[in-house]
Structure formats: structure tokens, C-alpha cells
Structure 1
């Protein structure tokens, strides 16, 4: 089960804001337990001073990496070496790589080749290859940042209207195709199966990217699909199917 997954969280502090730390670890807890929490950077540099309180409060281990050459990011190399060392221990089920840097693309791919899950966390500017190399990629602006006194907290992602959602062809097609693939003979598909298929095809997919906390809310807001709740055992489950196109009339 996901709750028992052992995760290693590696943070590129040179490339991530300290205000996201609390929301980040809360998100990580949805996928498993963070057995390792490390943040990498040159801690002698004043630009990382905002991380100090977060490191102490959240028990994140700072890993010192001096910038030996101006213009070169030594942090990336240190993270990659540590990640491989941790991978070879065989103690983990997955890795959380926190950075918007494409230099971690090959690392993410290599970890997945070993059968482990990779969760990526980064800003919207994160290059596509790194996003695609992860099993799941979460944009940090949906996590809910805290005010560390150094940075202004990010505004929540605005909820998009039905009209805007319907104009997002990629979103609509992702959902339609996933429903089609997960559907039973009657055309109905469980929401969990739909979400699983979509995430595999688009690692960055997250209903919060459009301002909706749950996939069910996003699906309902689009208004292009039939939905219903069913009582299954002791709980209710959400089902979706594509609306049938009206027959052409002569």
C-alpha cells in the first residue's frame, strides 16, 4: 500500500523556494513515508538563509555542497550521486526529486528502470523531458506555500470555468480516451481507473492544476460526461462515461 511505501526526498534547495517545504512534505505523505529528507545547496551562501527554519522544523537534513566553479551547479551532481547510493541500498520504494532542472531527467529515468516510483516536484517552467521521465509530476504552485518571511506565498491556482475547461482540447481528450479504455461493456468507468490511466499518459496531470481539489470536481465542471455515484459496499464510488453523440437526423 502507498502508506507503507518508503520514500527518499531529495531537494535541490538552489532551485526550490523554502515556502513550499511544508506543503511538499504533506504531499509526499500521500504517497508514502519519507525515510530520508535531504536538501542540497551551498549553505554558506546567504541566498539559502530562508531554508534554515524549515530545515529545523521539518527535520530536513542539509547537505553542504560548495560551488567550486562559478556558473556551474555542483548541487545537481551531489544529489545524483546520493540518489544512486540510496538506490543501491535497495531500501526504498520510490524517490521524490524536488527541482525544476532538466539535469535530473536521466536520474529519474534510471530510477524507474530499477522498478521504483519517481515523484517529481517543480515549477511550471520545468522542462518537458524531466516531467515525462517521472511517474508523477506535481507542480509546486498547487501545494499551498507558507510564509517564511522571505517570500510572498503563492496565490492559489484559480478555478477555471466550464467554458475554459472545454476549450482545453488536451485535457478533454485525455479524459475521453481514459474513460473509453477503462469502461465496462455499458460504457461506465470507475474514477480511480480513469485517474490511473491519465496519470500514466500525462505524469503532470493533477486536477489542482485547473483549480479543482478532486478529479470528480474537475470532471463535473467540464460538463461533457455522464456521472453517477454508486453505493459499493460501505462506500460511494464515482463513475463516469462519455456522453453518446446524438444520432443524425435526415
Structure 2
């Protein structure tokens, strides 16, 4: 699904996001295109944003200074929104990545989509649903770290309290029973399969994932601890999966809801 020709603007609300997430966000966006514009917004005179200097240098992100004119008011949001609209009309960009958990960007995301741009949202689990649903795709910070390599000496077959698996909800995989009891998950998957099914009930896995994300932008198999959608569906254990060899020799995965006998 990689689109190397797509040009994406990354706009980071540094007042609302930790610098530790930047490398993971940029790595995720590499799947969709080239992050040709990278900007981060905040009051850089504040000591609490000191950690962003290293991230800016390492990832070549342009810092945009926005003074906090009034206590309790966030001027950063306005600066980011204005820049986003300028970029929309001045540059030939294909998408925008808004990195924030702030619901103030809900209308911005909707407006960018209305203009035909893809909107990729990134934030914490606390991100309000209106902002999540205004994006084409929304990814939570914690799932971006699921596939990190852990040194062998730190690996344990049984997580201990306070470990990464204990702190990261996406790192601990639920059982098949727990997955089946997740009503929202099951409804989304079934609806996605039905929407893309052929006469025999088979649907291409890629189309299923695309359909589900249109209904629920934050849908991501990594939310349940699985790197791929196929692995998640196999773990649920209620669907039939098969690999089909295409004319070019490549294979793709298909899925269907078992036929009633």
C-alpha cells in the first residue's frame, strides 16, 4: 500500500506531544509517502519543550515559534491551523499528518479531507473521537512501538508488573475468546468482509482492511497486538482464510465468513 510518490506535510503540536514519538511517527508515514514538509509548533522559550531540540536536529524538523501570549490559552493550535491551510493552497501536497491528541484540530482535519487531501492522525488513547473520526487514518502512539526489538537478555516469557507488555496495551495479545467478545471489532470485521465479498463469500484482505478503516479510522490490528490483519483474523478463529496465487505469481490473502450448512 506504499505510495512513494505521495507528498505529505507533517505538522506536530509539540505542546501536546512528547518528542519520543517522532521517530515512530515518521517511520509509519514512510509507508504512505515522502514527508516533504516537517514542522513542529510550540513556545521554544519554555523549558518543558527542551527535549524537542534533539528530535528537530535528528529528523530535520523545522521548529515554528509561537509565544504563549496568555496563560491557559494555546496559541500553537492557531499557528498550526493557519500553516496547514497555507500549505494546502500553496503546495502540491497529497496528504497531511497531524500529530496531536487535541480535539481542536477536528475541523482542520475535516477541511483538509474536503479538499481531497489524505489526513493521517497520530495521538494518544485519550484523543477525543471527533478528531479521530475526522481523519482518514488515525494511529495511536503505543501501537507504533509493538514491533521494537527487545534485547535478548531483557526478554521474558512472562511479563512482570511495570514491564513494556504491562504498560503497553497493544503488546499483550488477547485470547481468541476475548477477541470474539469484542463486539465492535467483530461487527467491523464482518461488515468489511460482507462489503467486499464475491458470489462465494470471499473478500480480499486488503479491501476488507480498507473498508473497515473508512468506518473506523483508528482501526489497526496492532491495537490488539497483531502486526497484520490476517494474523488478527486467524487469532479470532471464526473466519476462513486462504492464499490465492495471482496471474503474476504473487499471492494475496482472502477471507470469508463460514457458510452455514
Place the TM-score, normalised by the shorter chain, in its bin.
over 0.9
Q: Residues 1-250 of structure 1 correspond to what in structure 2 (within 5 A)?
A: 2-144=3-145, 155=168, 157-232=171-246, 233-246=248-261
Give the Cα separation in 2 of the matches to 1:120 and 1:202: 13
d(CA) in 2 for partners of 1:205 and 1:60? 28
Question: Do 1:37 and 1:61's aligned partners in 2 also have CA atoms closer than 8 Å?
Answer: yes
Moved over 4 A (4+): none
Q: Secondary structure at the match of 2:139?
A: strand
For 1:74 and 1:161, how far apart are their aligned partners in 2?
45
The answer for unaligned runs of 5 or more in structure 2 is 149-162
C-alpha displacement of 1:245: 3.2
Distance in structure 1 (CA, Å) of the matches to 2:46 and 2:109:
28
Structure 1: gaps of 5 or more residues:
147-151
Shift of 1:157: 2.7
SS at match of 2:39: strand
> What is the alpha-carbon distance in structure 1 between the residues aligned to residue 31 and residue 221 of structure 2?
15
Q: 1: distance between equivalents of 2:35 and 2:89?
A: 17
- SS of corresponding position for 2:122: strand
8 Å contact from structure 1 (residues 191, 238) kept in 2: yes
Distance 2:50 2:175 in 1: 40
TM-score, structure 1 normalization = 0.93
Query: What secondary structure does 2:15 align onto?
Result: helix
| Deviation (angstroms), 1:159 | 1.5
1:73-124 alpha-carbon deviations (Å, 9 max, x no partner): 0000000000010011141001000000000000001001101110000100
Query: 1:144 Cα deviation (Å)?
Result: 1.8
SS of residue paired to 2:50:
helix
How many residue pairs were aligned?
241
- Tell me, yes or no, if the aligned pair for 1:199 and 1:205 is still in contact at 8 Å: yes
Distance 2:143 2:111 in 1: 27
> Which range moved further: 220-229 or 156-165?
156-165
